[in-house]
């Protein structure tokens, strides 16, 4: 039997996840877990590149784990773990720093964006984020990485770093490929459809959170920006608001864009927005109920994390030992 390829992905346990996170990441993870050997991390080390409330960060870590499982990610099929529980991430990041150039990090779009938003806290972790991300991926010899549009640049620098190390020290890392989503890979802000829906956006009405109740979901969708044409048609360039809502409806109902567009032929925006709101609420309510049930069983969640960390560490340590040998670190009989 052919061995499964390795897939790696991670989400930060910060704020509250949106339907954009669900569509762009978690939903795809569920679909991929049977096809690949999956490592899914809670990226708390990445989270502290911006200031966090420690108590909230701890709470959000378990909430995110429960959400993963509630969405259909199976701990029996995947390795679910917390990034900081595997010290190899930080250790490999340090080694990779020595073959990564400052100019490369300064050109990262996300570094520029976050520096503008957090001008009072432009720290080295913020700049070094892509190197830690490269370490995350390369530790597990990942063949593939599900990538949103905004993370393509980070995957490219990961590939560059892997190739550079392999050329300098001999083949060591698998050079990962990206898996790019199609429809719904990028869900945009409801109030400003030129921007990606974000859990840290300026206007809370621009995002639908996975914790929002039905009334809140429908209210936010009713207020979503559209246009004056009053025609439901998928045309991202000329009708970004309506196209964004069609993408959301398509993903939440498992219908194609064409089917969704045809369903609303001749119907007004009010009816369309209500239908999108109900489709979103219908999809996330069962997830909310299951997440609540799981959070009541802290012992189970901690057992999942313990098992996941042990599995992740075994793989990561094997890679790190190989790296240390290649670069000349004396390891003795350890």
Q: Cα torsion at 219, 66, 45, 94 (round to 10°)? A: -130
Distance separating alpha carbons of residues 3 and 31, to the nearest angstrom: 18
Annotated active-site residue 199? The verdict is yes
Distance separating alpha carbons of residues 85 and 136, to the nearest angstrom: 12
136 CB burial (10 A radius; 0-12, 13-18, 19+) = buried
Distance separating alpha carbons of residues 201 and 188, to the nearest angstrom: 11
Q: Which of 196, 220, 239, 273 is catalytic?
A: 196
Tokens of 295: 């959070």
Tokens of 296: 């009541």
Strand partners, 82: 42
The H-assigned helical ranges of 10-53 are 19-21, 27-32, 44-47
Find all residues with CB under 8 Å of 124, minimum gap 6, and list them: none
Q: Which of 186, 199, 255, 322 is catalytic?
A: 199
Q: Looking at the annotation, which residues are catalytic? A: 114, 196, 199
């Amino acid at each position: 039997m052919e061995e499964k390829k390795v897939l790696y992905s991670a989400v930060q346990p910060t704020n509250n996840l949106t339907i954009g996170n669900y569509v762009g990441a978690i939903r795809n993870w569920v679909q991929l877990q049977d096809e690949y050997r999956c490592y899914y991390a809670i990226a708390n080390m990445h989270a502290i590149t911006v200031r966090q409330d420690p108590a909230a960060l701890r709470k959000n870590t378990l909430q995110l784990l429960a959400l993963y499982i509630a969405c259909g990610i199976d701990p029996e099929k995947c390795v679910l773990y917390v990034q900081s529980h595997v010290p190899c991430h930080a250790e490999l990041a340090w080694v990779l720093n020595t073959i990564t150039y400052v100019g490369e990090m300064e050109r990262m779009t996300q570094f520029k964006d976050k520096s503008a938003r957090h001008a009072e806290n432009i720290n080295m972790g913020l700049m070094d984020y892509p190197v830690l991300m490269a370490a995350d991926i390369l530790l597990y010899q990942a063949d593939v990485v599900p990538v949103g549009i905004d993370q393509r640049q980070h995957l490219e620098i990961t590939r560059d770093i892997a190739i550079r190390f392999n050329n300098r020290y001999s083949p060591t890392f698998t050079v990962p490929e990206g898996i790019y989503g199609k429809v719904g890979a990028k869900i945009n802000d409801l109030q400003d459809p030129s921007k990606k829906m974000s859990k840290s956006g300026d206007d809370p009405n621009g995002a639908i959170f996975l914790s929002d109740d039905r009334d809140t979901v429908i209210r936010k969708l009713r207020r979503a920006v559209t246009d004056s044409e009053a025609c439901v048609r998928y045309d991202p360039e000329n009708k970004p608001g309506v196209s964004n809502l069609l993408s959301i409806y398509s993903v939440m109902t498992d219908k194609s864009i064409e089917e969704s567009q045809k369903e609303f032929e001749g119907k007004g925006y009010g009816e369309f927005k209500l239908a999108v709101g109900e489709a979103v609420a219908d999809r996330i309510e069962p997830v909310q109920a299951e997440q609540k049930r799981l959070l009541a069983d802290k012992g189970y969640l901690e057992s999942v994390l313990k098992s996941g960390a042990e599995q992740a560490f075994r793989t990561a340590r094997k890679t790190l030992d190989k790296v240390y040998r290649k670069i000349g670190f004396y390891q003795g009989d350890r």
